[in-house]
Structures are given as C-alpha cells and as structure tokens.
Amino acid sequence: MSIIADKSVRSQKTVWVAIFLLFTGFIGTKYFAGLNQALLFLIGGALGITLYHASFGFTSSWRIFIKEQRGRGLRAQMIMLALAVLLFFPALSAGELFGHPVKGFVSPVSMSVAIGAFIFGIGMQLGGGCASGTLYTVGGGSARMLITLVFFCLGSLLATAHLDWWFNLPHLAPISVVEKLGVMPALLINLVLFALIAYLTVFFEKRRHGSLEVAPVSKNHGFRRFLQGPWSLILGGVLLTLLNYATLALAGRPWGVTSALAVWAAKFVEVLGMNVAAWQYWQEPANAKALAEPLWFDITSMMNSGIMIGALLAASLAGKFAPNFKIPRRSILAAVIGGLLLGYGARLAYGCNIGAYFSGIASGSLHGWLWLCFAFIGNALGVRLRPAFFPDEKPQTTKITGC
C-alpha cells in the first residue's frame, strides 16, 4: 500500500511540474520566438498527451501484427492516414491553408530511403519505439527509452557526416501523386491502398484467430477517462491527424520529429569543441540556420519538447509516472544499438514514422510508401532479433509475406 501511495503522491507532484513546464514553455517561446511558435509548442504538448493516453505506438502495432497477426493497431493507422489525405491533399494542391502558404514533405524515391527505412525498422524493435514513441515514453518516465533517445540523437548526427554519399546513390526526383495525378485520383488510389491493407490485416487475423481482437474495456469513463485514459486507438489516430493538420496550418509544413534530434546532438558536440558546421549537411541554408539559432526558433525542437512534457502530464494524470532505473544489461545494449539505427536510418530516409510515413504519405509523396514497405521488412527482422536481447520473448516463427 505504501508503494501505491508513494506513486500517487509522486504523480500528483509531476502533474504540477508538467503544467508549470507547459505554461512557462509557452510564455518563453512566445516572448523569444512569437505566438505562432508558442502555439506549435502547445500542439506538441497535445500530441504527447494523445500519444500517451491512446498508447499509439507504431512499433508495438507492427510487432503484434508480425508476431500474432493481430491488426487492430495497423487498422487504426490506416484510418489515421485516410483522414490525413482527405485533409491534406486539397490544401497541398491549393498551396495554401487559411490564407497561408503550405508545402508537404515530398522527398526523392531512392535507395537511401529504402536502406534507411529498413535500418530504422530494425531499430524500432531493438530500441523499443519509433521517433514519436521514443519521445512520449521518455516523457512518460521510461528510463530505458531515455537511453534510446540519447543514441537516437547520436545516430542522427553520425548520418549527417555521410549523407552526401548516401543521397548520391541511384534515385528518382521527388514524386508527388497530388501534383502528378490531381487531387481526386490521388485520393482514390491512396484510399484504396489503405482499405486493402486494412482488409489484409482482417484476413490474416481471422485466418489465425477466427475473429478480430476486441478493444479492452476501460474502467474509466466520461471526464475521468478523458483525463486519465486510456483512449481508443481510433480516437488517438483521429486526434493525431487533426493536430498534424494544425501543424501544417501554423508551420506551413507537416509534423516532423527527427531533424531536431540531429540538431540537438550537433549543438552538444559543438560545445565539446567539434566543428560539425564544416560538414556539408550543416552548410545547407536550412540546416545551418537551425544549428546557429537558439532552439526557441526551431519548430521541430519546440514540438518535440512539447511532446515529452505533454506525455509527462498524461502519465502523471494517469498515476503511472514511475521511472524504473533497474534495466537489464541486454536491454540497455538493445537500446543503444536500436537508438543508433533509428537515428542513422531516419536521416537516410528523409524522416521517420512521422516525417516519412505519416506526414510523407499525407503529403502525397511516393517516398512515404517506399518507406512503409522497407520499414515493415526491417521490423520483421527486428522482431526476430529481439529474443537475443529480451529473453522473455519467444523466437518469431510466423512467416510474413509482402511489405
């Protein structure tokens, strides 16, 4: 009973800490970087709350489907993507949203994307999370995921030293299906693909289990469930889409995560005396600007900070903020390797599960679909590797076909 009481008291304290951080972060960002940037910081906070309360993990959903052929999480992702293209495609075609110019994440279709997504997929399963998952679980109190985040940043920085070589591998120019086909044909093709993927998850799940998994019933209801969770996966996906759309409106581009992690690592090693500004990646205008300016002015950095603080608030409201620093050695090793793979792969692939997959597909970029296929293959390999680091997990024997 004393352990439960101590946990409750700690959670009550961290609720106020999180509220204080959100409030001061908003005021400070508004003062130094303007209202628009401060609102994006709060959107980051809302993303963190949503990710935590809905437990919207890309990594766990893919692992559960690969191991058990349960597709509830994947179907929620398809609903999220379907709503996203319905909102994003018309705005991106018009080039403006609420009178402000907007542009999607449209990147080359290249070998670096395929290789980077594959590497990232392995890292998802070893590191224990994707980009958004790492941030919200760190905010929620996971000490192990803090290790993943540190090496995620380091992997991102290492990749920036080699990107000119990777980006010169065989590639096609960026391809936007919205620009190539028009809004309606692009919407139709994407919606059919989402429906096909959802159907395949239903087919495989029913073939193996006979019926579809039912979402667990929550003991919380009404306003208490709103504050403490858990929220449904579908609600989580819808809210993530709406918040991504709000990001598009305020930032002029969709939600991204991993570019900031490279910036954080670069700023840190510069303090130690390393001149990363001389690297080609950091000489490009946008990257040089991010490196030179305070983090207040970097949209992705402020949103990432908001995500972690929002998750801290959500975990505290749920009474679940309880960091555990007793981490098995093999689990630490997996976090280190996984973090490096996540960071390195994300830079090669022009983004992560958010910037390349979610926002990339929402932008109509063909590279988002390439990322999905190769990241899934990487996840399948990562699932097979997990028992070497997590002995409690049984080796994967299920045969998965297709991407």
Please, are residues 356 and 113 in contact by the beta-carbon 8 Å criterion?
yes
Distance between CA atoms of residues 27 and 75, nearest Å: 38
- Structural domain boundaries in the chain: 2-388
Enumerate residues 6+ apart whose C-beta is below 8 A from 382.
121, 122, 123, 124, 125, 126
Tokens of 384: 């097979």
CA 45 from chain centre, in angstroms, equals 14
State the Cα–Cα distance between residues 148 and 179, nearest whole angstrom: 38
Residues in the chain predicted with pLDDT less than 70, given as ranges, are 1-11, 395-403
CA 130 – CA 135 distance, rounded (Å): 9
Question: pLDDT digit string (tens) for 45-88?
Answer: 999 999 999 999 899 999 999 999 999 999 999 999 999 999 99
Half-sphere exposure (Cβ direction) of 127: Cα atoms closer than 13 Å: 40
Report how far residue 107's alpha carbon sits from residue 105's, in angstroms, rounded to the nearest whole number.
Answer: 6
Q: What is the pLDDT of residue 398?
A: 41
HSE-CB at 145 with a 13 A cutoff on CA atoms is: 19
Select from 18, 51, 100 the least CA-distant residue to 316. 18
Asked whether 95 and 178 are in contact (CB, 8 A), the reply is no
Strands 109-110 and 100-101, sheet pairing: unpaired
CA atoms within 13 A on the CB side of 171: 24
pTM > 0.75: yes
pLDDT of residue 221: 84
Measured CA to CA, the distance from residue 221 to residue 28 in angstroms comes to 35
Closest Cα to residue 373, out of 7, 131, 89, 117? Answer: 117
Question: Cα Rg for the chain, rounded, in angstroms?
Answer: 20
The answer to whether residues 307 and 136 touch, using CB atoms and an 8 Å cutoff, is yes
Per-residue pLDDT at 207:
96
SS (H, E, C) the chain: CHHHHHHHHHHHHHHHHHHHHHHHHHHHHHHHHCHHHHHHHHHHHHHHHHHHHHCCCHHHHHHHHHHHCCCHHHHHHHHHHHHHHHHHHHHHHHCEECCEECCCCCCCEEHHHHHHHHHHHHHHHHHCCCHHHHHHHHHCCCHHHHHHHHHHHHHHHHHHCCHHHHHCCCEECCCEHHHHHCHHHHHHHHHHHHHHHHHHHHHHHHHHHCCCCCCCCCCCCHHHHHHHCCCCHHHHHHHHHHHHHHHHHHHCCCCCCHHHHHHHHHHHHHHCCCCHHHCHHHHCHHHHHHHHCCHHHCHHHHHHHHHHHHHHHHHHHCCCCCCCCCCCHHHHHHHHHHHHHHHHHHHHCCCCHHHHHHHHHHCCEHHHHHHHHHHHHHHHHHHHHHHHCCCCCCCCCCCCCCC
The pLDDT assigned to 354 comes to 97
Residues 358 and 80 sit within 8 Å (Cβ to Cβ): yes
Amino acid identity at 360:
G
Would you state the pLDDT for residue 396?
A: 52
What pLDDT is stored for residue 222 in this prediction? Answer: 86
Cis ω on the peptide bond leading into residue 90 (within 30° of 0)?
Answer: no
What is the C-alpha separation between 397 and 392, in angstroms, rounded? 15
